[in-house]
Copies of this chain bind each other. A is one copy, B any other.
């Protein structure tokens, strides 16, 4: 029997510790974890709206706005208000922002390998379970809104 409390604490702790581990590496580039994941979204698809980044990461604009301004200050992204729709802000990678990708990936490689060698850990299943739970929680949250 697994309680909500046990599960949430396991998620919370594991998430935080893994992120701390990643941040050890990321700090070479002056990136926090949320900043890094934001960059990964842009590396996958450049020039998207704040809202779209938020959807993919489940972060709201109140978190993203200051984060993106920070990335802009570091000259990794450019923020540009939409021409047709003045409410929106398009985020584009700068050249330094683009070339950061391979450097960061390179730096994370050792960790990547260690992770894959954890005995008895079925990463694929774990990832799958997390996605399943994530979707369920999302659905729950949305249903409560109405």
Which A residues are closer than 8 A to B by beta carbons?
Answer: 1-22, 24, 33, 37, 40, 57-58, 108, 111-112, 114-115, 118, 120-127, 129-134, 136-138, 140-141, 144
| A7–B8 alpha-carbon span in the complex (Å) | 16
Contacts A11-B14, A12-B19, A13-B57; A2 near B124 (Cβ below 8 A): yes
Identical chains bound together, number: 2
- B3, B127, B133: the one contacting A2 at CB < 8 Å is B127
Enumerate the 8 nearest inter-chain pairs by beta-carbon distance, A residue then B residue, closest first. A15-B15, A10-B130, A11-B15, A2-B123, A126-B129, A14-B134, A17-B137, A118-B136
Contacts of A12 in B (CB 8 A): 15, 19, 33, 37
